[in-house]
Amino acid sequence: MGAHGTTGELARFSIAIPAELLAAFDAQIARAGGPANRSEAIRDLIRSSLVQNELRTPDAEVIGSLTMIYDHHTGDLTRKLDSVQHDYTAEIVSTMHVHLDHHNCLEILALKGRGERVYELADKLLGLRGVKHGELTCAATDKSLGR
């Protein structure tokens, strides 16, 4: 087993990625002082994604925050965002809306509930056209870990 938990044979694959995106990723690797190279950085991303997905166990109780940045002029995006949120009143503990500039809004949602519902809500909101940036940070509560 390697330093980062690599087991078994290494598989190689190639991916197509916009040059600009790759350059930004390389710059981030250089800054972070973490993983030494692209391969390790991508392995870390995949592991992180797998861990996050484990929290999608339907019955786990999770808490989290959802951050979104969007242009409120995009079609009927604000109405759709609002409409989705009204179907998850039990999971949305609190929201904060900041009008960043003429176009952009920042919205932060504090969430609590069954993993299935919380991730479903995040998927619906972040999947809407016009949401430029979105990130769900989630953690299982002690209850679901049996502590």
CB of 73 or CB of 99, closer to Ni ion: 99
Contact between 104 and 69 under an 8 Å Cβ cutoff? The reply is yes
What is the x/- site pattern for Ni ion, positions 78-107, by CB under 5 A? ---------------------x-----x--
Q: What are phi and psi of 67, to 5 degrees?
A: -115, 130
CB of 41 or CB of 106, closer to Ni ion: 106
Residue nearest Ni ion, Cβ-based: 105
Residue recorded with tokens 């949305």: 92
Q: Give me 76's structure tokens.
A: 């009927």
CB of 53 or CB of 83, closer to Ni ion: 83
What value, to the nearest 5°, has the Cα angle with vertex 44 and ends 60 and 111?
30
Rule CB under 5 A: is residue 47 a binding residue for Ni ion? no
Rule CB under 5 A: is residue 143 a binding residue for Ni ion? no
